[in-house]
Chain A
Amino acid sequence: KNQVEQSPQSLIILEGKNCTLQCNYTVSPFSNLRWYKQDTGRGPVSLTIMTFSENTKSNGRYTATLDADTKQSSLHITASQLSDSASYICVVRTLTGGGNKLTFGTGTQLKVEL
């Protein structure tokens, strides 16, 4: 069964600190992995997308890594800001007959405090 597991479930950090969120998946065959940021009561917004051949991709203070061998990804947030408080969702796409099967993780709820 295709699954995406994220850890930790929730995290509280002080403003200015760094943090790393984890995503493990069992989705196969793998197409790509995307990290979304979802503010409370809003729709998710894409942060990064990574394909099989990519190890690292950055978007400002967000850096995603992918290890396709171990089926793990991480999202590192540098110098956190209050506006980083949100849920971060890992989404893995698999190649199926329909070509559009997404498996969503349950998200990591991040809170950045003063």
Chain B
Amino acid sequence: DGGITQSPKYLFRKEGQNVTLSCEQNLNHDAMYWYRQDPGQGLRLIYYSQIVNDFQKGDIAEGYSVSREKKESFPLTVTSAQKNPTAFYLCASSIALPDTQYFGPGTRLTVL
């Protein structure tokens, strides 16, 4: 069963704590992405990675960090420096940078 998975589906954290969101794909895609979705706004790009061991900041990278140690995995850490972390986070992957992006099911993060 191929695809892109995110876990957990719902995540609750206390203010000031770092939290890591998981994203895994078995599509053999080189490129992976993290987006944030807020009500009434379009998706905004946080970070993207074209290839293993390489990643670039997107439009709203402040307060977030990523790693790409394996082709299949692209975890996102929401740090305490992110001022408004409560949101729906979407991970995506594509064969290469300009190709069709396939999205995971998302993780809803709520910071209390």
Contact = CB atoms under 8 A, between A and B. Distances in A.
Contacts of B88: 41
A98 B106 contact: no
Interface stretch (A54-62, A73-81, A101-109): A101-109
B106 A42 contact: yes
Nearest to B99: A100
B63 interface: no
Contacts of B48: 100
Given A42-B106, A44-B103, A100-B48, A106 B98 contact: no
Interface in A33-55: 34, 41-46, 49
Contacts of A106: 40-42
Contact of A93 (B44, B45, B98): B98
Given A41-B108, A43-B90, A93-B98, A102 B103 contact: no
A4 interface: yes
A45 B3 CA distance: 12
Contacts, number: 47
A102 B90 CA distance: 15
A99 interface: yes
A89 interface: yes
B97 interface: yes
Given A42-B105, A45-B103, A89 B98 contact: no
Contacts of B44: 104
B100 interface: yes
A41 B106 contact: yes
A104 B43 contact: yes
Contacts of B40: 106
A99 B88 CA distance: 26
B75 interface: no
Interface of B: 4, 31, 40-45, 48, 56, 88, 90, 92, 97-98, 100-106, 108
Q: Closest 8 interchain pairs by CB?
A: A43-B103, A104-B42, A104-B43, A100-B97, A106-B42, A44-B103, A99-B98, A43-B104
